[in-house]
Amino acid sequence: MVEEETGVARASCEGDGDTSLNEAKEKEKRKDKRKKRLLKEAEKADKRGVCYLSRVPPHMDPLKLRQILSQYGEIQRVYLTPEDPAAQVRRKKSGGFRGQEFSEGWVEFTDKKVAKRVAGMLNGEQIGGRKRSSFYYDLWNIKYLSKFKWDDLTEEIAYKNATREQKLAMELSAAKRERDFYLSKVDQSKALSKIEERLKKKQKIDMVPKVVRQFPQKKPVVNGSEENKAQLSRDILAGVFGGSS
C-alpha cells in the first residue's frame, strides 16, 4: 500500500514538472513573438517619413488634411496643434470663425520617399480643390523632416505640455502670493484703523474738563446766649493778662 502511494506521488511530481516546463516554453515563445513584432514595427518606423506644416489653412482639420494628402501616398498619422485659446477667444469676440483652428501640423507617411516627394511637389503650391472651398486659394507650407521620427514629435509634445503646466503652476503660485500679500495688508490696515479709533476715543476722554461741583456754604447761626458767653470769656482773659477790652 505504501509503495502504491509513493508511486502516485512520483507521478504527480513528474506531472507538475511537465506543466511548469510547458509554461516556461510558452512564455519564451510569447517573448520571441513580441520581439519579432517589435522588430518589424521598428523596421516599418524606419521606413516612414514625417512632413511638417508650418501653417494650417483656416477651417482645415485633421480629417480634411488626411483626405487631401492621401491621394499622394499612404498616411499613418496626422497631428495638428490647436491654436492659442486666447487667439480663439479674440476671434470669436470679433465675429470670426467660431470653430477650432490649428497653428501647425505633422503628417507621417508610410514611405519616407513618398513624404519627401510630396513635400517637394506641394510646397508653395495652391491647395486648390473646388473653387467654393474655404482654402482654395491657400498655399501649402510643407517641408520634409529628414531623420525625424514620430517618437521625436511625441517627446516634443510631452516636453511642451510639461513646460506649459510648469508655467501655469508658476503663474498660479505668483497669483496666490499676491493674493496672500494683499489680504495680509488688508488685515494690517484694519488693525491699524482700530488702533487709531481707540486712540482717538482716549484723546477725547482726556480732553473733556473735569467738573468740580461747588456747593454754597452757609454761616452757622449764633444765638444771644452764646454771644454773651463769648464776650464774658474775652473780658476774663483781658483781666488776667491786663489787656483792654
Give the integer Cα–Cα distance in Å for 187 and 181: 10
Q: Are 105 and 81 in contact (CB under 8 A)?
A: yes
Whole-prediction pTM: 0.51
Q: What pLDDT sits at residue 131? A: 77
Q: Are 74 and 109 in contact (CB under 8 A)?
A: yes
Give the integer Cα–Cα distance in Å for 183 and 214: 56
Q: What pLDDT sits at residue 225? A: 57
Q: What pLDDT sits at residue 42? A: 66
Q: What pLDDT sits at residue 66? A: 93
Compute mean pLDDT per 10 residues along the chain, 245 residues long, and list them.
Answer: 53 63 78 72 80 91 92 93 82 76 92 94 87 84 91 78 78 84 85 84 71 66 58 66 56
Q: What pLDDT sits at residue 27? A: 79
Q: What pLDDT sits at residue 78? A: 94
Q: What pLDDT sits at residue 245? A: 46
Return the ∠ at Cα 24 (arms to 18 and 30), rounded to 5°.
Answer: 135
Measure Cα distances from 190 to 182, 186, 202 in Å: 12, 6, 19
Strand partners, 104: 81
